[in-house]
Amino acid sequence: MDLIPKPEQVVSAAGNVAHSLLYGGLADLRPMPRTLIDDGELREVYHYRPARDVPESGDPVLLVTPLAAPSLCFDLRRDCSLVEHLVMQGRPTYLVEYGQVSFKNRALGMEHWVDEVLPKAIRTVHEHSGGRGVHLVGWSLGGIFTMLVAADRQDLPIASITVIGSPVDVTKVPLVAPVRPLLNLTRGTGAITRAYRALGGIPTPLVNWAFTAASAQKMVTKPLAVLTHLDDTDYLAQMEAVTRFKSSMTAYPGRTFGQLYHRFVRGNALAKGRMQIGERTIDLAAISVPVLVFAGNTDGIAPLPAVRAVVPLLSGSPHVRFEVVPGGHLGMLTGRAARGTTWQVIDEWVTEWSAGVVAAPARKAPAKRPTKKTPAKKTAAGKAPAKKSASAGTIGSNPTRRYGSAGSRALGQR
């Protein structure tokens, strides 16, 4: 909106204000229709119903939500929903979420998600889709879980994995780096440890506060942003949807949060590519399927260096692609710019690595003792390994692609 608004801007702004007051908002927040196809303890697997005029075909995509965040991250609002985008293309689309975490779940550790939730969800999607290879798309902590499962379970019918905004080296996260030395002083017996043990986890109000604090600058400037965009219906609708998302956070189970806190935040375990899960050590070098990694150019929770650190760790993958796209932590996944950037790359990626019906490998029980994985040479979907096209110093596999003023290759030179 101009400093001195044009007549048409004034009319549009007045219409937006009136619509918000009379109808409660501008955003179309209807969720995409879906059907529950499998469930268990903190595991719900959904199949999104195909669009009426678009027949469902091709390999399935399984969207992996992070802990504490709602599945709204993938279905934020109509016209700005990755789920809607995939469904309208006829792509078989599935999602795994975890329901409401309560005090009774306090003893569940990361093993529950790595050994039970995700493997069972992948098997379910593989069978429901007619035996096709499954493409995993994980956002934030969902991407970390996705990589750990792909590294640990060579028996799963995984065609490819996509990791969106998943920080691997937390020393490169400005929000965390300054306090890590203080966390290490307590040797695991500080106030944070005592608090989450007493509470049985991190309750919803604290999760909401933490996510809000991570975007404090945007909260301060929000009133001004609204005033300067009163004539932009799509902008205001997006702000409404994001506000709803932030108010829908859930809790962390106590033991899982403890493992993440001590191993991931304090110990920075994944920076070297390995993390202990249960009685074994999982090595990211054991991932033997193609990997697509996204970083957001304004992401404060998972900044570019923290995400890019995973690329050299994926030495067993036949093909690694790293892309920098516009947006912050949520915006890179489901912001307005994601329609023509992140989503388009995902489309290309899934099409490139689709192989149709594949036989599910024999089931394998999780290892019971620490082992160091040897990188495999064959992809689960049966595609011949391709030469890697990305490395820690090469950002953006397509040199002609541009994402605004801060695209992949431009950021790679900073």
**Among 340, 345, 403, 401, CA closest to 79:** 340
pLDDT of 184 > 60? The answer is: no
Q: In the chain, what are the helix, strand and coil shares in percent, each to the nearest 5?
A: 45, 15, 40
pLDDT computed for residue 70 by the predictor: 87
pLDDT computed for residue 264 by the predictor: 77
Higher-confidence residue of 267 and 229: namely 267
Q: Which residue has the tokens 């007493």?
A: 198
Q: Is the CB of residue 286 less than 8 Å from the CB of residue 258?
A: no
| CATH code of residue 391 | 3.40.50.1820
User: Is 320 part of a structural domain of the chain?
Assistant: yes
Q: How far is CA 318 from CA 119, 147, 152, 166, 353, in A?
A: 22, 14, 16, 20, 11
pLDDT computed for residue 365 by the predictor: 55
Q: Output the average pLDDT for the chain.
A: 79
Amino acid at 232: D
> Residue 141 is part of which domain span?
31-203+251-412
User: Is 394 part of a structural domain of the chain?
Assistant: yes
Q: Rank 15-24, 163-172, 248-257 by mean pLDDT and report only the highest.
A: 163-172
Count of domains observed in the chain:
1
pLDDT computed for residue 305 by the predictor: 95
Q: What is the pLDDT of residues 188-230, one digit of tens each?
A: 455 555 554 444 444 455 445 455 555 544 544 556 666 666 7
Q: How far is CA 297 from CA 191, 270, 291, 329, 404, in A?
A: 34, 22, 19, 9, 11
User: Is 237 part of a structural domain of the chain?
Assistant: no
Q: How far is CA 359 from CA 66, 99, 218, 380, in A?
A: 28, 31, 48, 9
pLDDT computed for residue 232 by the predictor: 78
Q: What is the pLDDT of residues 277-320, one digit of tens each?
A: 988 999 999 999 999 999 999 998 899 999 999 999 999 999 99
Q: What is the pLDDT of residues 334-373, one digit of tens each?
A: 999 999 999 999 999 999 999 878 776 666 555 544 444 4
- 44-48, 117-121, 202-206: which has the minimum mean pLDDT? 202-206
Q: CA 290, 155, 120, 109 torsion: positive or negative?
A: negative
185: enclosing H helix or E strand: helix 180-185
pLDDT computed for residue 394 by the predictor: 40
User: Is 179 part of a structural domain of the chain?
Assistant: yes
Q: How many helices (H) and strands (E) does the chain have?
A: 15, 12
User: Is 283 part of a structural domain of the chain?
Assistant: yes
Q: What percentage of the chain has pLDDT greater than the value 70?
A: 71
User: Is 4 part of a structural domain of the chain?
Assistant: no
Higher-confidence residue of 122 and 242: namely 122
pLDDT of 273 > 60? The answer is: yes
User: Is 48 part of a structural domain of the chain?
Assistant: yes
Q: What is the mean pLDDT of residues 31-42?
A: 95
pLDDT computed for residue 387 by the predictor: 44
pLDDT computed for residue 103 by the predictor: 66
User: Is 328 part of a structural domain of the chain?
Assistant: yes
pLDDT of 133 > 80? The answer is: yes
pTM of the predicted model, to two decimals? 0.77
